[in-house]
Amino acid sequence: MGPPAGPVSLSPDEAELVAAEALAASQALEGPRREAALQLAAAATSQEVPAELVELLEQVALASLQGGRARHLYKAEGERSLLRVLMRTPRGREMESQLELVNRALATLRGHPVEELRVGMRAPGHFTFDLRAGPVNLALSFRPHGVWVEALTA
């Protein structure tokens, strides 16, 4: 597990977007989760989400981005803005780090002719991509919450 979350600062436009999404989330939640979503909306208007609400910020941003709500309501600009917010959270930084690892693995293929490609499904929402290029074999795993290097041999 990574370091604990610190507060997340928001621009005025990001604050408006996060507050709107937190308010929308509060309508679907009950009890303490609803109260936390309302606290997130209030914190967003102050342009700083405190550390104790960052995990909820991640959940609200992911739900809006993955479900297509951000793009539908706020178009591509709003979607990009919410993604930038997410990438400043621990979960976003973890996603970015994982993408860097995948891109480094893909870089090992540079200059080798692609000989074999195969996509498979382990379960709904969990896909694999196997690639052989020269002496390099790369296996990637794609799941709803990210992409991983499963194997890399050269």
pLDDT for res 2: 56
84 within a domain of the structure (yes/no): yes
90 and 116 belong to one structural domain: no
1: in domain: no
**Longest Cα separation, the chain:** 57
pTM: 0.85
**CA 137 centroid distance within chain:** 27
Query: How confident is the model at residue 144, as a pLDDT?
Result: 86
Question: How far is the C-alpha of 99 from the C-alpha of 94, rounded, in Å?
Answer: 9
Residue 32 within a domain: yes
- Tell whether 32 and 78 lie within a shared domain: yes
- pLDDT band with cut points at 50, 70 and 90 for residue 143: very high
Q: How many domains does the chain have?
A: 2
Domain that holds residue 124: 108-153
Strand order in the sheet with 136-143: 114-123, 126-133, 136-143, 146-153
For residue 61, CA distances in Å to 64, 73, 103, 122, 127 come to: 5, 13, 24, 27, 24
Residues in the chain: 154
